[in-house]
């Protein structure tokens, strides 16, 4: 099979995918599933969609799973699916954070590739243990930082790489929401994300802060060397932070900022990245994902829109679905993510070597980096100091 550096290999069939979590009442499971379906590379054939047996079976019927492949326990699912000739080839983990590590280990133990929601784990030790297991097994392990699969985020990354901005001088990223303004950790209706045992020791930084730091690293190509973080509660009282402001120091001494809040009134999904170089500043806004703003010194602002040609890089072109004027959205980004996961898993299982740079999906190393970032942020807030945030030491 001939594979070019700019094209994904054609699939001979869809891969078989299973889910753990994501049943009735869970938003993110449907988001994952819709992305997988739109990619046209997956058939969802099995699941342990809830830890509640009744809800698991009811959810399985909604997802049109065969009765004997709708499980009530992920351990049972891993054992049964690995024994089938038509068993799943990958599992998507869309559970509360504290379950990511044990579920991933159960499926890696039986040779099944893993796709996990973020943050990867609740502790760095768990994350490093998973990374070690992945290296030993050689399995594909993807982490769903879906925003970096937006076409124009990929375009921004290529523009930085080819020097359109010049030498990087500043990096700023923010992510604002308001859904937790009136949310408290008191009472029976408190969300699991405010339960330290299930969520881990950080609320907003672990949830949307990891998206922001990954986006900044992904596009800039620079790692975060150190950070200085201040945590706040600006909504209803809660033990964990709902807002955080950070100073960042990237490789090469490049300064930056990161601001996140889930109690910013009037904000829905305000993820914005600005990268400033010696020649120009590039900006991307998740709520207007179809365009990039390029502001060069001494020149009018240039708006770059998504579509074929007109400066789009090959790495961008291969992810396009619609021509200009026909909007794509976050669902398409999820589809791009699941497309790249499928290409990687199909290649691993078929013993095919892919061209360098063909895929840019977030790996387990990115997941480890995210957990390290969370732990560094917590330590910085507690000690009121700059804290090292060395990354990629798990590779």
Tokens of 22: 């994501």
Peptide bond into 119 cis (omega under 30): yes
pLDDT at 4 (0 to 100): 54
**β-strands 141-143, 113-116 pairing:** parallel
Token representation of residue 218: 């992904």
Cα dihedral sign, 142-147-151-152: negative
Predicted pLDDT of residue 392? 47
Q: What is the DSSP letter of 268?
A: S
Contacts of 250 (CB under 8 A, 6+ apart): 168, 171, 220, 222, 223, 224, 225, 256
Which pLDDT does position 1 carry in this prediction?
Answer: 44
pLDDT single digits (tens) 119-134? 999 999 999 999 999 9
Are 218 and 210 in contact by the 8 Å Cβ rule? The answer is no
* Degrees, nearest 5: CA angle 158-159-162: 85
52-105 pLDDT tens trace: 999 999 999 999 999 999 999 999 999 999 999 999 999 999 999 999 999 999
Instruction: Give the CA radius of gyration of the chain.
Output: 21
Summarize pLDDT for 147-173 with one digit per residue, the tens.
999 999 999 999 999 999 999 999 999
Instruction: Show the low-confidence residues of the chain (pLDDT under 50).
Output: 1-2, 392-395
Q: What is the pLDDT of residue 391?
A: 55
The answer to whether 349 and 89 have CB atoms below 8 angstroms apart is yes
DSSP-derived pairing of the beta strands 255-261 and 243-250: antiparallel
pTM, two decimal places: 0.95
The whole-number pLDDT of residue 225 equals 97
Q: What is the pLDDT of residue 120?
A: 97
Q: What is the pLDDT of residue 393?
A: 41
At residue 137, the pLDDT reads 98
CB 219 within 8 A of CB 362: no
């Amino acid at each position: 099979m001939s594979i070019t550096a700019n094209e994904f290999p054609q699939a001979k069939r869809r891969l078989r995918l299973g889910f753990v979590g994501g049943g009735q009442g869970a938003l993110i499971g449907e988001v994952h599933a819709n992305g997988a379906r739109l990619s046209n590379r997956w058939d969802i054939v099995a699941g342990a969609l809830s830890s509640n047996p009744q809800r698991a079976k009811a959810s399985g019927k909604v997802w049109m799973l065969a009765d004997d492949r709708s499980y009530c326990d992920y351990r049972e699912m891993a054992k049964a699916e690995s024994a089938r000739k038509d068993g799943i080839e990958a599992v998507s983990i869309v559970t509360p954070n504290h379950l990511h590590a044990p579920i991933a280990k159960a499926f890696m133990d039986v040779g099944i590739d893993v796709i996990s929601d973020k943050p990867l784990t609740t502790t760095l030790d768990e994350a490093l243990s998973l990374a070690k297991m992945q290296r030993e097994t050689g399995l594909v392990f993807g982490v769903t930082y879906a925003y970096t699969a937006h076409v124009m985020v990929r375009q921004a990354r290529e523009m930085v790489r080819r020097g359109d901005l010049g030498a990087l001088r500043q990096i700023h990223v923010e992510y604002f929401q308001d859904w937790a303004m009136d949310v408290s950790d008191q009472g029976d209706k408190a969300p699991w994300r405010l339960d330290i045992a299930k969520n881990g020791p950080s609320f907003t930084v672990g949830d949307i802060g990891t998206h922001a730091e990954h986006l900044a690293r992904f596009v800039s190509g620079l790692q975060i060397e150190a950070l200085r973080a201040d945590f706040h509660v600006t909504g209803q009282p809660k033990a964990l932070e709902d807002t955080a402001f950070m100073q960042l120091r990237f490789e090469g001494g490049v300064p930056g900022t990161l601001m996140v809040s889930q109690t910013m009134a009037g904000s829905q999904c305000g993820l914005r990245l600005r990268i400033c170089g010696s020649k120009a500043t590039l900006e991307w806004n998740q709520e207007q994902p179809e365009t990039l703003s390029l502001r060069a010194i001494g020149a009018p602002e240039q708006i770059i829109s998504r579509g074929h040609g007109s400066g789009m890089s090959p790495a961008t072109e291969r992810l396009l679905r619609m021509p200009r004027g026909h909007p794509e959205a976050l669902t398409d980004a999820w589809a791009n993510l699941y497309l790249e996961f499928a290409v990687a898993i199909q290649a691993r299982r078929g013993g095919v070597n892919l061209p360098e740079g063909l895929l840019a999906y977030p790996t387990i190393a990115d997941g480890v980096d995210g957990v390290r970032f969370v732990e560094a942020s917590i330590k910085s807030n507690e000690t009121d100091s700059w804290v090292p945030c060395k990354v990629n030491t798990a590779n």
